[in-house]
Amino acid sequence: MRRQLLLKDINVPGIQFYDVYRRQGGYTAVEKALRQMSPEQVTEEVKLSGLRGRGGAGFPTGLKWTFIDRKSGKPVYLVCNADESEPGTFKDRYLLEHIPHLLIEGMILASYAIGANTAYIYMRGEFRWIFPILERAIEEARSAGFLGNNILGTGFSLEIYVHPGGGAYICGEETALLESLEGKRGNPRLKPPYFPAVMGLYHCPTLVNNVETLATVPSIITMGGVEYARIGVGKSTGTKLISASGHINKPGVYEIELGLPVEEFIYSDEYCGGIWKGRKLKAVVAGGSSVPILPADLILKTAKGEPRLMTYESLAEGGFQTGTMLGSGGFIVMDETTCIVRNLWNFTRFYHHESCGQCSPCREGTGWMEKVLHRIEHGEGRPHDIDLLDDVAKKIEGKTICPLGDAAAWPVSSAIRHFREDFEYHIKYPEKVKNPKHFEIEPLVPRRHLETA
Amino acid sequence: MAKITIDGIEAEVPDGTTILNAARQIGGAIVPPAMCYYTSLKESGGKCRVCLVRVAQASARDPRPLPKLVASCSTPVQDGMIIENITSPDVLEARKGVVEFLLINHPLDCPICDQAGECDLQDLSYAHGLATTRYEEERRTFEPIDIGDKIKLHMTRCILCYRCTYVADQLTNERRHGVLNRGDRAEIGTYIQKAIDNEFSGNMIDVCPVGALTDRTFRFKSRVWFTRPLDAHRNCDKCCGKVVLWTKGEEVLRVTGRKDRYGEVHEFICNECRFEHKNLSDWVVEGPRRIDRHSVISQNHYEKINLVALKKEIERQIEFQKGKANGNSSNARTA
């Protein structure tokens, strides 16, 4: 039976309320940590657990906590990044909406570990309806004595504030988030010098963690870091929430043990339940729209022929040539009728819309890519457009202030790398692709349409 | 002090100096271009990405190269750092890309732009740009607006360097304009059309690297290369009073701050000096202004060249190229 840590009580009625959550063993981790452990011990447990950031980058969480500059004499802040806006990712929303106390418990533990007395939840602007849920949960925790001054009589104090953003994807980038939290325009800051661990919120040391990362901390404290590290494979320890969407029979949020084979995840009845309508798999975007897309053969098996697993390492195997990334766990499955170009145009339109406009490659390049893709998808593409698109993506990648430029470039480069035929088909048969459902009427069978002159 | 190497030239600079400033201390062709960085404006830089360089060795302690190209204007040097600017094909390719990005939505209306001849973007595209464009779509356009009676804003020409917002933040007591919207719809604006009239607002014109903010009192009066620049000063109780007068005969067409060879003003001037004193008799003229740029302004302004220094530089370049060629071939032999 698969192990569940985050979602084990998700179906208990009323779990979003304090009483039920407490009855299910909630807040025992806080009691354990604050009464029996020093902040260093809490950090040590998280380090031992091998937990890696669940927001997308996969940076070791415990290590990140030790970077916090505690000698500066300035106040230390904890910021929870709940600005989940990556297309294809909806796991944080699920946690926030259904089990808010798990996040609060995790935030208390993290704040205790890094010595923060003020913590913020920066929530995506579109999550308006979750705002009262969180506010209520915080109020409940405060009346139960887990927030406020002198928590559990240990002398540790913490206040948590919820801050709804304006609804900008870029504010999920941690330094842009801090700018926005300070009330400024959400432009990412330059690193160096603005590393959040040293110069974060209000120029004070700040820890920014994803919702899921923080929500995992209570389990680690309860079961111990070593025990947690036993789940998973190698450096990918523990469980991870996967937001499965697309052409599958059972889309939804799944908690998996890292190390699960991708094939099992897609086809087993316990998870996605296979491709809908009995169709075949064409492509998978494994970690949210920003990561490289992979065709069916490469997502199920690596280039070396080994089965691909749901881990940070296995998905990245082969680099960007034949691999991808686990990212934030937005698992988008596409069946054989999917038009890769149309999908990519949709992604690129998103990045064009969400670019902050601060640095030139991303500001101008995302718009340019969108226009070229629009042209190709609507039957007005020219043969040189494919190479142009690839070149523009290359000129954005790695040249920008923040990772949004990379996130916009990777899907484009990878789609051209793996699905060049789809693009060539669009240029060759402009009349056919003018119908948006062109591949549903006539699925693209690789190589058949491409007669050589 | 930190010992660094830029394109094969060694130098020692104080700790905390940025790569760009270290390169400027060495001078010459190895200085990366900069469109948004401005020495006297705090927080500026990092945005335009034309100053990207490759760090081949991060420091003496950590000999690994940095994974990405870095913005030289905001990255401080480390002891033992090895930097490649014009010797790295990656950097030149990236710079070409950035220049192309800066130009795709630029109107290229240099023939009717007052900035032509002293425009950083013009110089940059001359050095790194393509002769043709690969951009076939319609360009983003904005209507020109008057912000106050002295400054004209052509948003179409703007490259969003944010320098003018830093001027307003750091030189004046009130910022009335800022960046609205995001992505390629981002624009400099006042939201509700407001006049920017502040004693130092005119400096926004000087810091603008392109023709987005131009002097309305100089508008369409003359091409800048037909004017004669003169260093001059007057006693001013608000500012340093040190300016450049751009004259034609006895007429003062325009007054600006004094820009250095990188197009930066170090002593800002007030609006009274800039806009109110357009008579030669108001000023103490010091002499002709030396325009230290590869720009058409210096056309017909012949100058003495330091031949010894030029010879030295050429010899150094030859030596450097030789060394590189030798290094490569010896590698090839061993391999």
pLDDT tens for residues A364-412?
999 999 999 999 999 999 999 999 999 999 999 999 999 999 999 999 9
Domain total in chain B = 2
B 141-160 near A (Cβ less than 8 A): 159-160
Question: Are residue A344 and residue A427 in the same domain, yes or no?
Answer: yes
Q: Specify the higher pLDDT residue, A223 or B304.
A: A223
A192 contacts B47? CB cut-off 8 A: no
Q: In the prediction, which pLDDT does A102 show?
A: 97
Percent over 70 (pLDDT), chain B: 92
Minimum Cα–Cα distance from B136: chain A residue: A372
Q: At B321, which amino acid appears? A: Q
Q: In the prediction, which pLDDT does B293 show?
A: 58
DSSP states of B248-272 as a string?
ETTEEEEEEPPB-TTS-BSS---HI
- At B133-175, the pLDDT tens digits run 999 999 999 999 998 889 999 999 999 999 999 999 999 888 8
Q: Domain boundary residue among A212, A230, A248? A: A230
Decide if B180 is inside a domain: yes
Work out the angle between the directed axes of helices A404-418 and A420-428 (0-180°, nearest 10). Answer: 70
Question: Are residue A243 and residue A364 in the same domain, yes or no?
Answer: no
Question: Are residue B115 and residue B254 in the same domain, yes or no?
Answer: yes
A359 contacts B49? CB cut-off 8 A: yes
Q: Whole-angstrom Cα distance, residue B223 to residue B157? A: 18
Q: Whole-angstrom Cα distance, residue A82 to residue A94? A: 11
Decide if A452 is inside a domain: no
Mean pLDDT of chain A: 94
A399 contacts B49? CB cut-off 8 A: yes
Q: What is the pTM of this model?
A: 0.92
Decide if A123 is inside a domain: yes
- At A147-165, the pLDDT tens digits run 999 999 999 999 999 999 9
Q: Cis peptide before A192, with omega less than 30 degrees from 0?
A: yes
Domain assignment of residue A283, given as a range: 235-335
**What is the CATH classification number for the domain harbouring B245?**
3.30.70.20
Q: Specify the higher pLDDT residue, A313 or A453.
A: A313
Decide if A453 is inside a domain: no
User: B69 and chain A: CB distance < 8 Å anywhere?
Assistant: yes
Question: Are residue B67 and residue B121 in the same domain, yes or no?
Answer: no
Mean pLDDT of chain B: 89
The pLDDT of residue B335 is above 60: no
Q: In the prediction, which pLDDT does B302 show?
A: 54
Question: Are residue A280 and residue A425 in the same domain, yes or no?
Answer: no
Q: Domain boundary residue among A287, A307, A335? A: A335
Decide if A420 is inside a domain: yes
Q: Whole-angstrom Cα distance, residue A80 to residue A67? A: 17
Mean pLDDT on A116-138: 96
> Among residues A96, A115, A152, which one has the least CA distance to residue A40?
A115
Q: Whole-angstrom Cα distance, residue A295 to residue B247? A: 66
- Consecutive H or E run containing A91: helix A91-98
A368 contacts B135? CB cut-off 8 A: yes
Domain assignment of residue B90, given as a range: 2-98
Q: Whole-angstrom Cα distance, residue A289 to residue A312? A: 16
With cut-offs at 50, 70 and 90, classify the pLDDT of residue B304.
Answer: low
- At A11-52, the pLDDT tens digits run 999 999 999 999 999 999 999 999 999 999 999 999 999 999
Q: Which residues of A touch B (CB under 8 A)?
A: 168, 170, 185, 190, 192-193, 352-361, 363-368, 371, 388, 394-396, 398-401
Question: Are residue A195 and residue A285 in the same domain, yes or no?
Answer: no
User: B101 and chain A: CB distance < 8 Å anywhere?
Assistant: yes
Decide if A29 is inside a domain: yes
> Among residues B42, B45, B31, which one has the least CA distance to residue B75?
B45
Decide if A91 is inside a domain: yes
Q: Which residues touch A6 (CB under 8 Å, ≥6 apart)?
A: A95, A99, A102, A212, A215, A216, A219, A239, A241, A255
Mean pLDDT on A208-224: 96
**What is the CATH classification number for the domain harbouring A263?**
3.10.20.600
CB A209 within 8 A of CB A61: yes
- Token readout for A133 is 């849920």
Question: Are residue A193 and residue A49 in the same domain, yes or no?
Answer: yes
Q: In the prediction, which pLDDT does A397 show?
A: 95
CA torsion angle B19 B261 B130 A411 (round to 10): 30
With cut-offs at 50, 70 and 90, classify the pLDDT of residue B301.
Answer: low
ipTM surpassing 0.90, yes or no? yes
Contacts of B159 in chain A (CB under 8 A): 360
Decide if A449 is inside a domain: no
A192 contacts B98? CB cut-off 8 A: no
**What is the CATH classification number for the domain harbouring B63?**
3.10.20.740
Q: In angstroms, what separates the C-alpha of B87 from chain A's closest C-alpha?
A: 18
Question: Are residue A224 and residue A279 in the same domain, yes or no?
Answer: no
